[in-house]
Amino acid sequence: KYGNSYVTSGYYFLEKYSVAGVLLNSLDVMGGYDPGYYGDMRSDENGKCFYNNMTDGTRGNATAVDSAGNWLWDSHGIQECWRFVLNQCTGQVLPLVGAYAEGFALINTITGALSNYTSNSGSGNIKDPHAGVIDVNGDVYTITDGSGQIINKYSPTNVFLTSYTCPGSFGYSAGYYTRPLALNQGINAMSMLGDNLYIYDGATLFKVNKNTGTTVQQITIPNGVNKQNGGIYITGCGDIFIGSGNGVYMYDINFNQVDFKATTGAVYDIAFNAFNNTISACGVGHVTSLTFTIPPCVFSKSAIVKAACAGTNDGYIKLNVKGGVPGYNYVWTKNGSPFAPTTDSIGGLGPGTYFCSYTDNLCPISNKDTITIVVPSIANPVLNFTTKNITCYNKNDGEILVTITPSPTTFTVRWKPMVNSNGDTLKTLAINKLDSGKYVLEINASQCIVRDSIIITQPDSLILKSISNISHCASTTSLDAISALAIGGTLAYTYNWLGTGLSNTSAQSTVNITGATTTLNISVAITDANGCKSASQSMKLNINPLPQVTFSTTSVCFNASTTFADATTLASGSIKTWAWIFGGTATLPVPTSSVQNPIFNYDKCNNIANNATLIVTSDSGCLATLTKPVIVHCLPVPNFTFSNGCEKDDRIKFSNTSANGAGTGGILISKWRLGLSPLQIWALNPSQIYNAPGNYNINLSITDQYGCIKDTSKPLVIYPKPNANFVVDSVCLNIANTFTNTSTLSVPAGFTDAVSNYSWTYNYTNTYTANATTASTSHIYTLPATQAMPTAALIIKTTNNCADTVTKSVIVWTLPKAMYSMNAPCFPAPLLFTNASTLLAGTDNSAMASMNINWGNGQSSAVTALNSTLNYNHTSSGNYATKLTLATNHGCKDSMSVNITIHAKPVANYTATPLIGCEPLCVVFANASSQNESPNGETIASYGWRFGDYNVKKTSEDKSSNANPTHCYNNLSDTTQLHTPTLIVTTTEGCTDTLIYTDSVVVYPSPTAGFKVMPPVVDVFNPEIKIRDESHLASTIIWNYDNGETKQVSNPNPLQSMGQYVYNYTDSGTYIIKQVVVTDKGCIDSTHQPVRVNPIYTIYVPNVFTPNGDGVNDYFMVKGVNIKDVDLIIFNRYGELIARVQSMSSKGWDGTDLRQGKLSQQEVYTWKLEYTDVFNTKHKGLVGTVSLVK
């Protein structure tokens, strides 16, 4: 970031140059050590330099120094380290590796710690990387040399993905170890932009597609020398800089030379100096700063803008940005305010000024550009319709005339439907000869589309509804009126009546018959206002007698059914219908019946007037009516009250509050069922004691003077009564007596009763004082039982206030008192015990039963007298807790403890797991050392571990001072290794102990999985792939082909791979082939590679179907193999959409017109098809016809 340049050579002298090219310092980074072969160097923005070296020498594979050349760290472990590559998006530096490993490793830039590296030493799998790059996805591309010059691709986790043949020449040449030819090692020969790799071998520049390996373009660099010149840099917008034999050339993205700057010598490498936008070039004897005119990154854009019609939000903008590194980010504003969209295309725009700032995907700093676009507002024209509707049904003489205000200069006309009844195409503003229906007009003027519609109507078919023969009933006194009803056509109608006996024959809808007594024949025809005529209709007139109506009913109690008996008579003919209407009910509409003798339940009783009406009709259509009242008695109203209670204690009283029903009176009779025997009680207000808890159903039945009965039931709850009880233990003085509640409560199923209240008294006389309210309690009495024997009492209550009480006596004994003294000698002097215990006086019969001293080592001695002494010798040193225990004849006890101390040494001990396994074998050492006899809390103060690992490079790596360390044993050989760990523990007083387990750790070597798949992509027609085993130390190889098939083979010579074989997949798909390798000791390694088997697809569209319901060819549907989805649209001959199928799981079109919901007529229909195949490719624009045959 300060513009300084850092340059190195094969001997790793660090030369630092200022912005002006002045040499600031020159240092021997390796400190006099010759690294042997050239590697690579990277510098961060602060001048911290990272070097890599092919071999793991004195200074390691990688070395870091600061900007002044001061050493920071060395990294070891890579067999050959070739080149650093930089991920510009993350700033991560990765070393490319060669010889017996491939891909890349990870080195911690702070500590130099190595990870992600495994050496296949001795396998001969050489892939030496000459150059490399990282793309924005983290995939690594390298140019390697080994089994041919190739481009290898690795995933961000260093999994080999694929390889391509590399153009140019990077192979080894005679004398390539000579430092002037150091370009054979790691060189700046590859760069990347977008999907292309740019490769430079010193003489030729190649553009290679990174996804296919195809060489897209190449150019010979003037004065370039293969394997001598080098250096390539590409800007984010494709400006290319190339080092040559006499300077640096600048090209555009299409390999056209833009500029050239000469240097004093050949160029081996170049770098871009962001400090002053120059190119730094270096070679033998020079570091040159070159100034080029680097144009800013210009994006190409061909914006499409649609205006906002009539100021609405239907405008849009599409930028079509190209250039830079694809993967653009967009920030929009509207009229200077933030705008939400973040895409290239934005829609739903109103008129205004839109500004977009957009950047590409270049790392670490994106290219940026802006654009301002105005979305104008265009007024919509107004469509004015003048119509002439169709005169007569099916005449097809409709017309439409359209005017546009204001009239646009240019516009297009589109009608739907597009043709009239004659088949003429509709394409003007005046159209005629139209069928009835909806006509939609679309006017497109200056990108603004206006749609409107008008409906052409036609009158319905003029139809004279048929007039039926009528009957003249005997009671008719007025003239019979005959009316004709017409529908359809256009009002007003003219009526033409014909026949004798008519009072008038004018052009009216109704005429009268003058008192006819015989049959008459009459006819009528109609003409509408447009002159459309209907067919004529005729009728006859007959004379019939009236029915004589009568019926009878019964009176009932409410909710009982009333029976109706019809007694109607008729002089001639028969009764055809009975129509009953039951009035006075609350039901709407009013209930009816059509049977001759119905039964009906009224929903109101006698305080409301109920009635029934009967209407009878004869077979000749003459009718008569009769209405009569109906009596329904109201029911009595039973009711009573009571309170719930406890079993055995409460008498339940039932209070009768029943009354007569509305509109009734008299004495009521009560009948009770109390849920017990006897079953019935004839009383007004009974009472009852219940001896068992539970739910009881109480029923009261009331009968009034009309014999109307009604009952009611209510639930009675009898709560359970508790049973109070407790136990109390006999204890020694000053110890609490425990009062344990043992009360019980039997709770019936469905009840939630529980004991909720406890009340204790510890000294019950004739009065009660509550001392505790918990379920169980305890109490310490101050006097023994012989002086004052107390009585305790317990009262309990349930949640429903049912209660019980119990009382019991309590016993308390007197106590002994332990007391002694003891000296604390050093081992092996004896201990001196002096007893000073006493037994407190009391009035009971307590006596000392036993006295024992515990010496703290599991040994005890009996003490025979209250003032006696004893001596005791311990057999070992340590911490001892002595204890004197006393007990009386009642078991009352006391004790006293005295701690003594004797020093001792610790005991070293540990466990280690696992002791046998595959490398790297990480053994967890679990310390089990003890210092149980340490005095005064002395503990183990330190741990000294020696792991016996002869593979470590530093002695310090074989040590640990942790209590529970973990050590990982590596075994890079092909044979089993044995190791002897040692533990030394030391206490705070300096006491130590040592434990050695000889050859206890056994480490087996691990195998290395590896194979190649060629080619990685096949199809179901040519599914053969070749799999070449490249594993090492594998006794058993297990192949999993990701299709349910596996194969296991044995390798008689694990030091060699098993070669190549052929495998065929039987179905399409992407498969992950996995190889698991196992040694004879069970050590495992695995790897996997993808292979893709592409499917094929077919599609077929039939041209005829017969939707007749016979189960054969009833549906029109696309058929095919590996078709994911379809969009099949069917049009009729007018271009109207009548059906659509949008799923391959559908049966297809069954011939139904979706607009009308009925089967379409037999004809040829047009279809349009879009579908997506198994590769997610959309196919559009397929059209054809299909014949519907009935």
Are residues 660 and 676 located together in one domain of the fold?
yes
Handedness of CA 129, 133, 138, 139 (dihedral sign): negative
Question: So what's the pLDDT on residue 1085?
Answer: 93
Evaluate if residue 87 carries a pLDDT over 80.
no
Q: Are residues 1079 and 1158 in the same domain?
A: no
* For range 217-246, the mean pLDDT: 90
Residue 756 lies in a domain: yes
Judge if the upstream peptide bond of residue 338 is cis by omega within 30 degrees of 0: no
User: In Å, what is the CA distance from 856 to each residue of 776, 853, 870, 884?
Assistant: 39, 9, 15, 10
Query: What whole-number distance in Å separates Cα of residue 284 and Cα of residue 229?
Result: 11
CATH number at residue 538: 2.60.40.10
Give the whole-angstrom CA distance, residue 527 versus residue 978.
121
Within a 10 A sphere around the Cβ of 654, how many other Cβ atoms?
A: 21
Mean pLDDT along residues 458-464: 82
> Residue 64 above 50 pLDDT?
yes
DSSP state of 186: S
Confidence of residue 183 (pLDDT cuts 50, 70, 90): very low
pLDDT score of 40 more than 60:
yes
Q: Could you give the CA distance from residue 744 to residue 603 in angstroms, rounded to a whole number?
A: 54
54 in a structural domain: no
Would you say residue 126 has pLDDT above 70?
no
DSSP state of 181: G
Q: Which comes out higher in pLDDT, residue 483 or 648? A: 648
Whether 540 has a pLDDT exceeding 80, the answer reads: no
State how far the Cα of 878 lies from the Cα of 826, in Å rounded to an integer. Answer: 10
pLDDT band at 450 (very low <50, low <70, confident <90, very high): confident
Question: Measured between alpha carbons, how far is 981 from 1002 in angstroms, rounded to an integer?
Answer: 11
Q: Are residues 1021 and 974 in the same domain?
A: no
Domain boundary residue among 506, 527, 544? 544
CB count, 10 Å around CB of 1055?
Answer: 11
Q: What is the mean pLDDT of the chain?
A: 85
The per-residue pLDDT for 56 is 62
Are the C-beta atoms of residues 816 and 803 closer than 8 Å to each other? no
Q: Specify if 146 maps to a domain.
A: no
As to burial, measured by CB atoms within 10 angstroms (0-12 exposed, 13-18 middle, 19+ buried), residue 421 is middle
| 935: phi then psi, degrees, rounded to nearest 5 | -85, 150
Q: What is the distance between the alpha carbons of residues 242 and 270, in angstroms, rounded to a whole number? A: 8
Q: Give me the pLDDT at residue 216, please.
A: 94
Residue 1156 makes CB contacts below 8 A (sequence gap 6+) with: none
Provide the percentage of residues in the chain whose pLDDT is more than 90.
38
560-575 pLDDT per residue, tens? 999 999 999 988 889 9
Query: In this model, does residue 124 exceed pLDDT 80?
Result: no
**Lowest-confidence segment of 358-362, 433-437, 515-519 by average pLDDT:** 515-519
For residue 856, what are the domain limits? 817-901
Tokens at residue 989, please? 């007083």
Residue 398's CB: how many other CB atoms inside 10 A? Answer: 24
CA 766 from centroid of its chain's CA atoms: 74
What are the residues whose beta carbons fall under 8 Å from the beta carbon of 525, sequence distance 6 or more? 464, 495, 496, 533, 534, 535, 536, 537
The 10s digit of each residue's pLDDT in 1092-1132 is: 998 888 889 999 999 988 888 999 999 988 899 999 999 99
Whats the size of the chain, residue-wise? Answer: 1190
Other C-beta atoms closer than 10 Å to the C-beta of 614 total 22
User: How does pLDDT run across 676-696, given as a tens digit for each residue?
Assistant: 877 788 888 998 999 999 999
Write down the pLDDT at residue 509: 73
Per the DSSP assignment, residues forming a β-bridge with 270 are 281
State whether 1103 and 1160 are in the same domain.
Answer: yes
What would you measure as the largest C-alpha separation in the chain, in angstroms? Answer: 158
Quick check: 259 and 244 in contact, CB under 8 A? no
d(CA 174, CA 925): 54
The answer on 776 and 851 residing in a single domain is: no
Band of pLDDT at residue 274, cut at 50, 70 and 90 = confident
Task: Tell whether 526 and 570 lie within a shared domain.
Answer: no
pLDDT tops 50 at residue 123: no
Highest mean pLDDT among 409-423, 818-832, 1049-1063: 1049-1063
List pLDDT tens digits, range 910-950. Answer: 999 999 999 999 999 999 998 777 676 778 889 999 999 98
DSSP 8-state secondary structure symbol assigned to residue 955: G
Number of structural domains (the chain) is: 10
Residue 667 and residue 737 share a domain? no
Q: Where are the beta strands (DSSP E) in 324-479?
A: 329-334, 337-339, 345-349, 352-359, 368-375, 377-378, 382-388, 398-405, 412-416, 430-434, 437-445, 448-456, 463-464, 470-473
Contact, 251 vs 240, CB < 8 A?
yes
Q: Is residue 65 part of a domain?
A: no
Task: Give the pLDDT score at 744.
Answer: 94
- Residue 987: band (very low, low, confident or very high) from pLDDT cuts 50, 70, 90: confident
Q: What is the dihedral of CA 679, 682, 683, 689, to 10 degrees?
A: -10
- What is residue 1117's predicted lDDT score, i.e. its pLDDT? 94
Instruction: Say if residue 406 is in the same domain as residue 478.
Output: no
Are 1174 and 1123 contacting, i.e. CB atoms less than 8 angstroms apart? yes
CA within 13 Å, CB half, 1090: 12
* 1000 and 916 both lie in a single domain: yes
Across the range 97-103, mean pLDDT stands at 72
Half-sphere exposure in the Cβ direction for 1065 (13 Å, CA): 29
Cβ pair 65, 14 in contact under 8 A: yes
Specify the 3-state DSSP secondary structure of 723.
strand
Give the integer Cα–Cα distance in Å for 892 and 305: 104
Domain C-terminal end among 798, 813, 828: 813
Mean pLDDT across 393-414: 84
DSSP 681: B
Name the residue type at position 481: A
Is the backbone peptide bond immediately before 816 cis, with ω within 30 degrees of 0? no
pLDDT at 714: 94
* Tens of pLDDT, residues 880-912: 889 999 998 888 899 999 888 777 778 899 999
Could you give the CA distance from residue 402 to residue 434 in angstroms, rounded to a whole number? 15
- Examine the pLDDT at 49 and tell me if it is beyond 90: no
Same structural domain for residues 668 and 602?
Answer: no
Using the Cα atoms of residue 75, residue 78, residue 84 and residue 85 in order, give the sign of their dihedral.
Answer: negative
Q: pLDDT tier at 478 (50, 70, 90 boundaries)?
A: very low
Tell me if 267 is assigned to some domain. Answer: no
- Would residue 1023 count as lying in a domain? yes
- What are the tens digits of pLDDT across the range 721-770? 999 999 999 888 888 999 999 999 999 999 999 999 999 998 877 777 88
| 452 lies in the same domain as 484 | no
Residue 505 lies in a domain: yes
Q: Kindly report the CATH number assigned to the domain that includes residue 409.
A: 2.60.40
Asked if residue 118 belongs to a domain, the reply is no
Contact 1117, 1158 (CB under 8 A): no
What tokens were used for 324?
A: 């830079």
SS3 at position 183: helix
**DSSP secondary structure, 43-96, as one string:** E-TT--EEEEEEEEETTEEEEEE-TT--EEEEE---S-EEEEEEETTTTEEEEE
Q: Please determine, for residue 11, whether its predicted confidence score (pLDDT) is greater than 90.
A: no
pLDDT at 675: 87
Residue 873 has pLDDT above 60, yes or no: yes
Q: What is the pLDDT of residue 182?
A: 40
C-alpha closest to that of 7 among 40, 53, 52: 40
- If asked whether residues 733 and 806 sit together in one domain, one would say yes
pLDDT in tens, 1060-1084: 999 999 888 899 999 999 999 999 9
Asked whether the beta carbons of 142 and 129 are under 8 A apart, the reply is yes
Domain stops at, among 1039, 1068, 1094 = 1094
Q: Which regions of 868-973 does DSSP assign to beta strands (E)?
A: 869-872, 879-888, 893-901, 910-913, 916-918, 921-927, 940-946, 959-960, 966-969
Token pair for 591:
């209930």
Residue type for 396, please? N
Which residues, 6+ apart, have CB-to-CB distance to 168 below 8 Å? 199, 200, 201, 203, 204, 206, 226
Q: Higher model confidence: residue 847 or residue 828?
A: 847
